[in-house]
């Protein structure tokens, strides 16, 4: 079928306003805000419901056209830019909040619901409940975030956001609509088990196993009191013991670290932001006292932050983009990597060397997940999009940081196409064989986001 016939078929499924192959519409879908080179998309489509998604997938199978699911398109690592062309499926019209269950504490939503939309809905209608939210712009979708093992202010206590999925509705690559989790046997989307748990197959697989149309996300009670205790540390070697001591205390809700050369006053220190919670102000005061003692014992200093700074950081989510760009031209991308805690001191020092090698001021940070079971390393590189040399430097720095993470026993997170090759090179051969077998079984025509996690 030629391009004109295919666009006509797509328009028949979703209506003329929601499918396009026009250059001016495709421009934005062939790139993202990060450092990846643009790659062309052939069509964009915005379905409104699961039946439309199913019909698009059936057509794509028949015509052997790649399909790339997209939420907010904000991962920065090029994950929604087609590797082999095809139809970008923009999920934003599927934006219904279907149910908030206050007893089993979950939100059942469509895949296009944004993090900002869910947060404001809960704040207005269910002020005692809070969702897991990343520090990403509010137009990021909840699905896009949980499907990449995202993280946010509840991760220190409850783990990454992928672990907070209770159930999924998925359109499989063959067009079957499949329910996973308790919703496979019940009207309640409250749990992943106890039946064989296949949900993990759809997390961090970047849309190669199917298209999520609905999901159930765990919600959590909002604490009565929350505060942030700032600290400063000189030597990264002291970090592991400090973090072990802090997270032994169960009142820590979120713990963030930042080490950066700009603005100048931050240079030479690692800044620690520990969020504590309590039922009363007295409890918060007690926790603060204990935390200051722990900081002192581990060579960190308590920092009395100015009110303005305190206010900015008390906002949840924090508006992270404000801290990200120090360059003319306004671009940045970061390597995130899940790391073992003991490797963090070395990672900080070596990542700073990579930044300096490419003339980019070091901007390094971390967030703890489930106590210290995992710590994310963030290494952010800013660039001027209009300067090709700057872009090349950023790409090289990102690649070297992915290599560093792997060398230190970590795993690059939401890793872009080139980084996926590095991970695959290091992966256990039988893990790769399993991945290939599952992919080929579910998607024999290879239509779902081809190129990603491709095992040769
Ligand atoms: C300033 C800034 C701060 C950030 N801070 C954080 C942070 O604190 N924590 C964090 O976790 N992330 C953060 N991010 C990264 C990213 O923006 C978020 O993780 C975001 O939630 C991703 O959601 P999205 O809707 O943009 O996903 P997209 O980029 O649209 O998609 C992500 C992946 O999921 C796939 N996908 C999307 N929807 C579906 C679907 N329905 N079915 C199947 N596959 C699908 C896509 O193909 C892609 O592979 C930040 C980004 C920026 C720019």
pLDDT digits (tens, 9 = 90+) for 302-327: 988 888 888 888 887 876 655 555 66
Minimum CA distance residue for ligand 1 atom 4 = 136
With beta carbons less than 8 A apart as the criterion, state whether 152 and 193 touch. no
- C-beta separation of 48 from 57 below 8 A: no
The kind and range of the H/E element at 220 are: strand 220-221
The candidate with the shortest Cα–Cα distance to 217, out of 278, 134, 275, is: 134
Q: How far is ligand 1, taken at its centre, from the CA of residue 299, in Å?
A: 36
Q: Is the CB of 152 under 6 A from ligand 1?
A: yes
Residue 214: helix, strand or coil by DSSP?
Answer: strand
Cβ of 70 less than 6 Å from ligand 1: yes
User: Whose alpha carbon is nearest atom 51 of ligand 1?
Assistant: 136
CA distance 78 to 29: 11
Do residues 433 and 396 make contact, with C-beta atoms less than 8 angstroms apart?
no
Cα end-to-end distance, the chain, whole Å: 28
Considering the domain delimited by 225-416, tell me its CATH architecture. 3-Layer(aba) Sandwich (3.40)
Spans of the chain, pLDDT less than 50: none
For a mutational test of ligand 1's pocket, the pick from 29, 84, 144, i.e. the residue with the most ligand atoms closer than 8 A to its C-beta, is 144
Residue 252 has phi, psi (to 5 degrees) of -80, 120
Q: Are 134 and 21 within 8 A, CB to CB?
A: no
- Residue 71 Cβ inside 6 Å of ligand 1? The answer reads yes
Q: Is the peptide bond between 194 and the residue preceding it cis, with omega within 30 degrees of 0?
A: yes
Q: 229's torsion region: left (phi>0), alpha (psi -120 to 50) or beta?
A: beta
Q: Give the distance, in angstroms, between the CA of residue 330 and the centroid of all CA atoms in the same chain.
A: 21
What dotted CATH number matches 3-90? 3.30.43.10
> For residues 423 and 418, what is the distance between their CA atoms, to the nearest angstrom?
9
What is the residue with the minimal CA distance to atom 15 of ligand 1? Answer: 75
For residues 368 and 358, give the distance between their C-alpha atoms in angstroms, rounded to a whole number: 28
Q: Is ligand 1 within 6 A of the CB of residue 199?
A: no
Cβ neighbours of residue 429 closer than 8 Å, sequence gap 6 or more: none
Asked if residues 214 and 124 have their Cβ atoms less than 8 Å apart, the reply is no
Which of 75, 168, 326 to probe ligand 1 with, by most ligand atoms within 8 A of CB?
75
- Tell me, in angstroms, the distance from the centre of ligand 1 to residue 79's CA: 9
pLDDT of residue 320: 62
Which residues, 6+ apart, have CB-to-CB distance to 100 below 8 Å? 106, 107, 108, 121, 122, 125, 126, 129, 219
| Cα three-residue angle 142-437-340, rounded to 5 degrees | 55
- Ligand 1 mean position, distance from CA 237 (Å): 32
CB under 8 Å to 306, separation ≥6 — which residues? none
Q: How far apart are CA 404 and CA 349, in angstroms?
A: 11
- Does the Cβ of 151 fall within 6 Å of ligand 1? yes
What pLDDT, on a 0 to 100 scale, did the predictor assign at position 322? 59
The pairing of beta strand 177-181 with beta strand 67-70: unpaired
Residue range 40-52, pLDDT digits in tens: 999 999 999 999 9
Assess whether the C-beta atom of 324 lies below 6 angstroms from ligand 1.
yes
Q: 83, 114, 147, 208: which to mutate for ligand 1, most atoms within 8 A of CB?
A: 147
In angstroms, the CA 209 to CA 198 distance is: 11
From the CA of 317, give the closest atom in ligand 1: 8
- 148 in contact with ligand 1, CB cutoff 6 A: yes
Q: In this predicted structure, what is the pLDDT of residue 142?
A: 98
Helix axes 344-357, 239-248, angle to 10 degrees: 130
CATH, domain 97-221, list 3.30.70.1380, 3.30.450.40, 3.30.465.10, 3.20.20.480: 3.30.465.10
Does the C-beta of 339 come closer than 6 Å to ligand 1? no
Tokens of 210: 């199917």
Mapped onto helix, strand or coil, the DSSP state of residue 389 is helix
CA 138/CA 135 separation, integer angstroms: 8
Is the Cβ atom of 90 under 6 angstroms away from ligand 1?
A: no
What ranges do the domains of the chain cover? 3-90, 97-221, 225-416, 417-441+451-455
Is 321 close to ligand 1, i.e. is its CB under 6 Å away?
A: yes
């Amino acid at each position: 079928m030629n391009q004109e016939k295919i666009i006509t078929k797509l328009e028949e499924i979703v209506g003329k306003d929601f499918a396009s192959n026009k250059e001016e519409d495709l421009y934005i879908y062939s790139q993202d805000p990060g450092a990846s080179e643009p790659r062309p998309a052939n069509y964009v489509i915005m379905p409104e419901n699961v039946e439309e998604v199913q019909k698009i997938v059936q057509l794509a199978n028949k015509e052997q056209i790649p399909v790339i699911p997209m939420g907010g398109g904000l991962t920065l690592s090029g994950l929604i830019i087609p590797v082999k062309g095809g139809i970008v499926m923009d999920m934003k019209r599927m934006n219904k909040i279907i149910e908030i269950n206050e007893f089993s504490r979950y939100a059942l939503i469509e895949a296009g619901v944004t993090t900002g939309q869910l947060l404001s809905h809960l704040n207005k209608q269910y002020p005692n409940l809070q969702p897991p939210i990343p520090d990403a712009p509010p137009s990021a979708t909840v699905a896009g975030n949980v499907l990449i093992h995202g993280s946010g202010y509840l991760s220190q206590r409850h783990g990454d956001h992928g672990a907070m999925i209770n159930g999924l509705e998925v359109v499989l690559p063959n067009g079957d609509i499949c329910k996973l989790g308790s919703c496979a046997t019940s009207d309640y989307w409250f749990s992943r088990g106890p039946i064989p748990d296949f949900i993990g197959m759809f997390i961090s697989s970047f849309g190669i196993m199917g298209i999520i149309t609905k999901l159930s996300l765990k919600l959590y009670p909002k604490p009565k009191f929350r505060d942030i205790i700032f600290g400063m540390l000189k030597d990264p070697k002291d970090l592991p013991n400090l973090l072990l001591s802090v997270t032994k205390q169960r009142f820590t809700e979120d713990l963030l670290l930042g080490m950066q050369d700009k603005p100048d006053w931050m240079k030479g220190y690692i800044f620690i932001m520990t969020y504590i919670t309590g039922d009363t102000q007295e409890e918060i005061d007690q926790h603060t006292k204990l935390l200051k003692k722990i900081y002192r014992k581990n060579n960190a200093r308590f920092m009395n932050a100015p009110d303005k700074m305190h206010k900015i950081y008390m906002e949840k989510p924090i508006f992270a983009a404000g801290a990200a760009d120090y360059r003319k031209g306004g671009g940045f991308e970061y390597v995130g990597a899940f790391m073992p805690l003991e490797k963090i001191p070395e990672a900080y020092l070596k990542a700073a060397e990579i930044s300096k090698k490419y003339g980019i001021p070091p901007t390094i940070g971390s967030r703890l997940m489930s106590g210290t079971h995992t710590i994310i390393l963030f290494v952010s590189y800013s660039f001027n999009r209009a300067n090709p040399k700057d872009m090349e430097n950023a790409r090289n720095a990102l690649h070297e940081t992915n290599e560093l993470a792997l060398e230190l026993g970590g795993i690059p997170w939401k890793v872009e196409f080139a980084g996926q090759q590095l991970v695959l090179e290091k992966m256990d051969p039988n893990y790769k064989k399993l991945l290939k077998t599952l992919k080929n079984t579910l998607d024999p025509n290879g239509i779902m986001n081809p190129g990603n996690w491709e095992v040769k």
